[in-house]
Amino acid sequence: MTRIELTVNGRTVVEDVEPRLLLTDFLRHRLGLTGTHVGCEHGVCGACTVRLDGVSVRGCCVLAVQVDGSAVKTVESLAGDDLLSPLQAAFKRHHALQCGFCTPGILIAADDLLSRGDPTHEEIVDMLSGQLCRCTGYAPIVAAIEEARDELSQVREAGR
């Protein structure tokens, strides 16, 4: 067993883990954060996307011991005080989810993209090329991300 200490969604976590334990399994089974989904287990589908030190990564391709000393953000961190984030609210308005399996990974990847500024339509589509969704056809997802981008841009402008 190896002791790790990290911050998950703003909370310090100290746990003893097996060296081969995947980050996805650590989040889901040890911490009860089941919003991080496990799909292909090869880093292809994007369902397991989390933010590691501010950058989107595939949780199924990272060992828990590798995140020692890091900050991890999961989809559970997006909503605060039971309120949807602007991105989540836009997903709801645009019906940008069907079965919901891919949604947490897409939300985290989009949150990462939106945190870096105002992405173009092409940058949003490019980001989504790493996220597999079998239900929506991506058009509502793109529309939701663009709406959230525009709303967040207005908030940034008002704060200046």
Of 46, 15, 45, which Cα lies nearest the Cα of 32? 15
- C-beta separation of 122 from 157 below 8 A: no
Domain spanning 86-158, CATH class: mainly alpha
From the options 3.90.15.10, 3.40.50.1820, 3.40.50.620, 3.10.20.30, give the CATH code of 2-76. 3.10.20.30
- C-beta separation of 47 from 39 below 8 A: yes
User: In this predicted structure, what is the pLDDT of residue 160?
Assistant: 72
User: In this predicted structure, what is the pLDDT of residue 138?
Assistant: 93
Where in the chain are the domains? 2-76, 86-158
Q: Going residue by residue through the chain, which has 160 residues, state the pLDDT in tens, using 9 for 90 and above.
A: 999 999 999 999 999 999 999 999 999 999 999 999 998 888 889 999 999 999 999 999 999 999 999 999 999 999 877 799 999 999 999 999 888 899 999 999 999 999 999 999 999 999 999 999 888 789 999 999 999 999 999 988 888 7
User: In this predicted structure, what is the pLDDT of residue 6?
Assistant: 98
Question: Letter for the amino acid at 150?
Answer: D
- C-beta separation of 103 from 46 below 8 A: no
The rounded distance, in Å, linking the Cα atoms of 106 and 141 is 9
Judge if pTM exceeds 0.75: yes
